[in-house]
A = this chain, B = another copy of it.
């Protein structure tokens, strides 16, 4: 019957050796402040601890140390590990915690949880800090900020919090350079419903600097389906029609691939397609897309690392920029 065997405490270890609790504590923590412990007793304590299978109790330790060595990865929505983006972030956060010897708390706010519930949990001291994305509810952000708990955000910069970003500007430039090299003079961006993103702007700038025509069309439904406006665009006469579709992300790109196949538009002959993210795929896709590869795993692990630094009182930059790379596939 799973009744916890009564836990072995520091007191047990100390008693076994015949020393005070604090001697044991000092030895087992390698603390050298306030007096040393002799090598002899030191050895005894270490051995006793090992024999007894002593485990420091994390709650007791957190309480007195005033830190838990736990990092929270927080999603201010119901999380979907089916999104490659999310899956990569979780993996990265786990990796980051492992590197920095922290524990990872995964927390996602479901529809049944209020802003208040989230704050309650986030501020209960269960974690030393929080990694979260730029779509964090503003009320939550305010409360975290005023509580003074360390927070690192991604992937969009924020004036109020340190942020891990990816070098979208260079990514866009690389993609556009690649298109220009392939002879494209006109492309459009299949946007997320929002068109005022930094990504759009980056592409606009890149297009400009390469002297290429550029337009933006929001894809339908926020899932990258092809809208009527987009259909029209693709039916324009050859000299007005864009020759490349640059997409908000890989999902949008794959949908475009499907659309082209269904409508007998040759890829990349009639239309080149570029994605974004370098999302992991399953299964192996038939058509490998050209995409801007973003190290999302690294984004999260870096965020964790920065978080630990902040907690430990180190200075961290407000913006950490991670490089992206262009991966050329079959669609350009």
Contact = CB atoms under 8 A, between A and B. Distances in A.
A150 interface: yes
Given A56-B124, A87-B87, A149 B4 contact: yes
B107 A104 contact: yes
Interface in A1-29: 2-5, 7
A55 B310 contact: no
Given A63-B60, A120-B55, A5 B108 contact: no
A5 B147 contact: yes
Contact of A55 (B82, B84, B125): B125
A215 interface: no
Copy count, this protein chain = 2
A91 interface: yes
A310 B5 CA distance: 15
B2 A125 contact: no
A169 interface: no
A12 to B, nearest CB: 14
Interface stretch (A31-39, A190-198, A233-241, A278-286): A278-286
Nearest to A62: B59
Contact of A254 (B59, B283, B310): B283
Contact of A282 (B90, B120, B148, B282): B282
B57 A63 contact: yes
A60 B125 CA distance: 9
A58 interface: yes
B284 A281 contact: no
A2 B149 contact: yes
A5 B125 contact: no
B55 A5 contact: no
A59 B68 contact: yes
A290 to B, nearest CB: 14
Interface string A57-84: 1111011001010100000000111101
Contacts of A114: none
A5 B90 contact: no
Given A5-B148, A58-B124, A105 B104 contact: yes
A294 B147 CA distance: 43
B282 A251 contact: yes
Contacts of A282: 82, 84, 251, 254, 279-282
Given A81-B87, A284-B254, A58 B125 contact: yes
B55 A63 contact: no
A112 B148 CA distance: 33
A98 B5 CA distance: 28
A302 B102 CA distance: 27
Contacts of A147: 4-5
Contacts of A251: 282-283
B2 A310 contact: yes
Given A57-B125, A103-B121, A251-B282, 9 more contacts: A2-B311, A4-B66, A7-B125, A55-B120, A57-B124, A59-B126, A82-B91, A94-B107, A285-B285
Q: Closest 7 interchain pairs by CB?
A: A254-B283, A59-B62, A81-B87, A58-B124, A58-B126, A59-B63, A81-B91
